[in-house]
């Protein structure tokens, strides 16, 4: 059975790899024509997760009219199609191309922190094009690291890991993160950890519930805050902005250099509030296909769970 799975994984890889290889080498103007067609397919033909997107938008923006939410919905799906082709294009983008299209406005903030011998945790949401953030590795002397979930196909996993680390960063399987960070600290190896912490944790694992966009309580990830306090790192908010099709810029905002000065979940609240404000500014570029409100109000009867009312 194992050999059959391995053979199937290899056949899948050798069949799909040439397609990805050729597709990633197409110029952007052709890729975006493909994206235009993909938008029609996923929105009008397939209707990919439309019910989820519409429910999310209605919960997040109850004061907007149906027409206004429908406009955001269509803009989101166009961006979603662009994100797919940009993700594949990244496999063949040079550093010069990446730096032209994905600009870090104030990377000096990160370098100032690492120059002062402080490790950094960068926290952000699934907004804009988070897939291109790995180019940060070319702009800092510290080691940028990110987490990933294990891919069932080992050949695609190897391909992905090699590609995403080609500018100098490192990808760590999520389950190994704490051990890796502990090792780096003991070795005095400086790191910049990037985390996307806006999606829904498993209900039974969540320790903190709070409102999101003013709605009933949802579980939220507290990992960035916990790790920042454990390893005494600086905590920085990452705001990705989409300036035009295929072009993004990133602003870093220092939340704190001293995370242990804050009460439990206070840093998590600050992150959620900054993320909400970012989304409200240009809502079409957030990942609305994720069922963020699926556990809304369904708080387990557990004394270890912290619930906060946010006004």
* Residue whose tokens read 């300036």: 243
Distance CA 184, CA 166 (A): 20
pTM higher than 0.85: yes
Distance CA 58, CA 69 (A): 7
Burial of residue 101 (CB within 10 Å: 0-12, 13-18, 19+) is: buried
Q: What is residue 106's three-state secondary structure?
A: coil
Distance CA 135, CA 240 (A): 13
pLDDT at 232: 96
One digit per residue, pLDDT tens: the chain, 311 residues?
A: 555 777 888 788 888 889 899 999 999 999 999 999 999 999 999 999 999 999 999 999 999 999 999 999 999 999 999 999 999 999 999 999 999 999 999 999 999 999 999 999 999 999 999 999 999 999 999 999 999 888 888 888 888 888 888 888 899 999 999 999 999 999 999 999 999 999 988 888 888 999 999 887 999 999 999 999 999 999 999 999 999 999 999 999 999 999 999 999 999 999 999 999 999 999 999 999 999 999 998 888 764 566 665 44
Tokens of 141: 């002397």
pLDDT at 160: 86
Q: What is residue 278's three-state secondary structure?
A: helix
């Amino acid at each position: 059975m194992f050999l059959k799975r391995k053979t199937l994984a290899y056949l899948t890889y050798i069949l799909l790899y040439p397609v990805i290889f050729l597709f990633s080498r197409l110029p952007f103007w052709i890729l975006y024509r493909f994206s235009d067609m993909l938008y029609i397919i996923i929105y009008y033909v397939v209707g990919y997760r439309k019910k989820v997107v519409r429910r999310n938008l209605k919960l997040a923006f109850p004061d907007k009219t149906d027409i206004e939410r429908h406009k955001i919905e269509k803009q989101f799906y166009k961006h979603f199609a662009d994100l797919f082709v940009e993700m594949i294009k990244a496999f063949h983008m040079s550093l010069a191309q990446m730096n032209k299209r994905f600009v870090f406005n104030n990377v000096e903030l990160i370098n100032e922190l690492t120059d002062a011998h402080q490790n950094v945790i960068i926290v952000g949401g699934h907004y804009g094009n988070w897939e291109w953030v790995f180019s940060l590795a070319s702009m800092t002397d510290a080691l940028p690291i990110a987490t990933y979930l294990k891919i069932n196909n080992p050949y695609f996993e190897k391909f992905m890991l090699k590609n995403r680390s080609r500018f100098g960063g490192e990808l760590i399987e999520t389950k190994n993160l704490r051990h890796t960070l502990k090792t780096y600290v003991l070795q005095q190896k400086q790191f910049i950890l990037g985390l996307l912490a806006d999606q829904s944790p498993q209900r039974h694992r969540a320790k903190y519930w709070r409102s999101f966009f003013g709605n009933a309580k949802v579980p939220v990830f507290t990992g960035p805050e916990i790790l920042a306090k454990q390893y005494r790192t600086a905590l920085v908010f990452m705001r990705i902005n989409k300036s035009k099709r295929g072009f993004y810029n990133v602003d870093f905002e220092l939340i704190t250099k001293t995370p242990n000065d804050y009460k439990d979940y206070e840093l998590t609240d600050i992150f959620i509030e900054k993320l909400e404000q970012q989304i409200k500014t240009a809502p079409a570029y957030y990942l609305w296909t994720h069922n963020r409100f699926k556990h809304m109000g369904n708080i387990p009867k557990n004394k270890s769970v912290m619930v906060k009312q946010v006004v």
